[in-house]
Structure 1
Amino acid sequence: MTCACTKLRSFTTLAAITITLIFAWKLLRAPQEQPRRPRRRVAPSPSNTSSRSRPGALTSTDACSSSADSRAQEAINQLFQPLTLEQLVRHKLSEGRRVTCRLLGVILEETTPEELQNHVTVRPSVLEVLIEIAKFCDVYLMERILDDESGEKVLSALSEAGLFTNSGLIKDKVLFCSTENGRTSFVRQLEPDWHIDTSPEIVHQLAVSSSKQWHSEN
Structure 2
Amino acid sequence: MSQPAPSRDGTIYTSPPPNLLLLLLAVAAASGRARKLRSFTTLAAITITLIFAWKLLRAPQEQPRRPHRRVAPSPSNTSSRSRPGALTSTDACSSSADSRAQEAINQLFQPLTLEQLVRHKLSEGRRVTCRLLGVILEETTPEELQNHVTVRPSVLEVLLEIAKFCDVYLMERILDDESGEKVLSALSEAGLFTNSGLIKDKVLFCSTENGRTSFVRQLEPDWHIDTSPEIVHQLAVSSSKQWHSEN
TM-score normalised over the length of structure 1: 0.72
Distance 1:44 1:116, change over 3 A: same
**Offset of residue 59 of structure 1:** 1.6
Q: Per the alignment, do residues 183 and 44 of structure 1 end up closer, same or farther by CA in structure 2, a change over 3 Å counting?
A: same
Counterparts of 1:9 and 1:119, CA distance in 2: 125
Counterpart CA distance in 2 for 1:60 and 1:208 is 64
1:24 CA drift (Å): 95
1:124 to 153, 175, 184: 153
Task: Give yes or no for contact 1:131–1:166 (8 Å, CA) kept in 2.
Answer: no
Moved more, 167-176 or 188-197: 167-176
> CA offset at residue 51 of structure 1?
13
Moved more, 8-17 or 119-128: 8-17
What's 2:183 paired with? 154
1:203 aligns with 232
Shift of 1:60: 2.8
Change (3 A) 1:147 1:66: same
**Alignment length (residue pairs):** 214
- Asked if 2 retains the 8 angstrom alpha-carbon contact of 1:51 and 1:59, the reply is no
Change (3 A) 1:96 1:28: farther
Q: Deviations over 1:86-137 (max 9, x none)?
A: 1111111211100000000000000011100110000011011101111100
Q: 1:171 to 1:36 in 2, by over 3 A?
A: same
Following superposition, the deviation at residue 32 of structure 1 comes to: 74
Quote the Cα distance in structure 2 between the aligned partners of 1:112 and 1:12. 118
Distance 1:105 1:83 in 2: 26
Greater relative contact order, per chain length (Cα 8 Å cut-off, separation 6+): 1
**Alpha-carbon distance, 1:166 to partner:** 3.9
User: What is the Cα deviation at residue 162 of structure 1?
Assistant: 0.7
Moved over 6 A (4+): 5-58
- Distance change in 2, residues 1:60/1:7 (3 Å): farther
Contact 2:217/2:239 (CA < 8 Å) preserved in 1?
no
**Could you say if the C-alpha distance between residues 45 and 172 of structure 1 is closer, same or farther in structure 2, counting changes exceeding 3 Å?**
farther
Q: Tell me, which stretches of 5 or more residues in structure 1 are unaligned? A: none
Residue 200 (structure 1) shift: 1.1
Separation in 2 of the partners of 1:37 and 1:125? 76
Compared CA separation, residues 67 and 14, structure 1 to 2 (3 A): farther
Structure 1 pair 83–17 and aligned structure 2 pair: CA distance change class (3 A): closer
User: Cα 1:178–1:19, aligned 2, differ >3 Å: closer, same or farther?
Assistant: closer
Structure number with bigger Rg: 2
Structure 1 distance, partners of 2:210, 2:182, is 22
- How far is the alpha carbon of 1:78 from its aligned partner? 0.5
Q: Distance in 2 between matches of 1:91 and 1:46?
A: 57
Cα distance in 1 for partners of 2:122, 2:132 equals 18
Q: Which runs of 5+ in 2 are unaligned?
A: 1-33
Q: CA deviation at 1:212?
A: 1.6
Say whether the 8 Å CA contact 2:223–2:239 is kept in structure 1. no
Identity across matched positions, percent? 98
- 2:125·2:223 contact (CA, 8 Å) conserved in 1? yes
